[in-house]
Chains A and B, each alone.
Chain A
Amino acid sequence: EVQLVESGGGLVQPGGSLRLSCAASGFTFSDHYIDWVRQAPGKGLEWVGRIRKKANDYSTQYAASVQGRFTLSRDDSKNSVILQMNSLETEDTAMYYCIRVSSSFFFDSWGQGTQVTVSS
């Protein structure tokens, strides 16, 4: 069974940092891109970023709203992805989902999410 489990969310002050983790199991992790999507309270879905696989040099891509503040990394030996979030803003308050990307680039498995709240 494919599983993605996020952790690391919490309450942080504006300007602070937070490190989210995504632990994957049940599939060949190294074969897949991993994306993150967030959802602010009562709002829709916003794509955050992507980290590709080794064959694509672990390249990353980010939404304009987080470019320069968020960084994705992965450790295929541990089947895990890290989303490092710096210079957090109140607008970053959201549920953050880790997602397995299918070979046709659709989002076929989602984690349960981890809540990030940025507030003073």
Chain B
Amino acid sequence: IQLTQSPSSLSASVGDRVSITCRASQALTTTLAWYQQKPEKAPELLIYAASTLRSGVPSRFSGSGSGTDFTLTISGLQPEDFATYYCQQVKSFPVTFGGGTKVEIK
């Protein structure tokens, strides 16, 4: 299953609302997760089952969607949110990731 993320990068300011889209080549139901990766660090799970916020993750992060179209939204971007974000499907093997979206400071 191929995952296409858009945009591949974006520039935003602190306080902005940003949305990242992930489109799957096949229907996933809700077997989709979002990860955040900061430079030189391992990725961290943010959202799983498309819309469930992992414990400890700030509520400004939210996920939505089902089927083939999914969205990660950050409401009120904070300095620590500048990072690369990946979507992932676990519906079938091989597990696949989107190409990533780099969120940079405007």
Contact = CB atoms under 8 A, between A and B. Distances in A.
Partners in one complex: yes
Interface of A: 35, 44-47, 50, 61, 63-64, 97, 102, 104-108, 110-113
Given A47-B97, A64-B94, A107 B88 contact: yes
A35 B95 contact: yes
Do most interface residues of chain B lie in helix, strand or loop, or is the interface mixed?
loop
How many B residues are at the interface, by size bracket?
A: 20 to 34
Contact of B43 (A35, A61, A110): A110
15 contacts: A45-B35, A45-B88, A63-B94, A102-B48, A104-B49, A105-B31, A106-B33, A106-B45, A107-B33, A107-B88, A108-B45, A108-B48, A110-B42, A110-B43, A110-B44
B54 interface: yes
Given A50-B95, A105-B31, 16 more contacts: A44-B98, A44-B100, A45-B35, A45-B88, A45-B97, A45-B100, A47-B94, A47-B96, A61-B93, A63-B94, A97-B42, A97-B43, A106-B88, A106-B90, A107-B45, A107-B88
A103 to B, nearest CB: 11
A113 B37 CA distance: 13
Contact of B35 (A50, A63, A107): A107
B42 A44 contact: no
A9 to B, nearest CB: 14
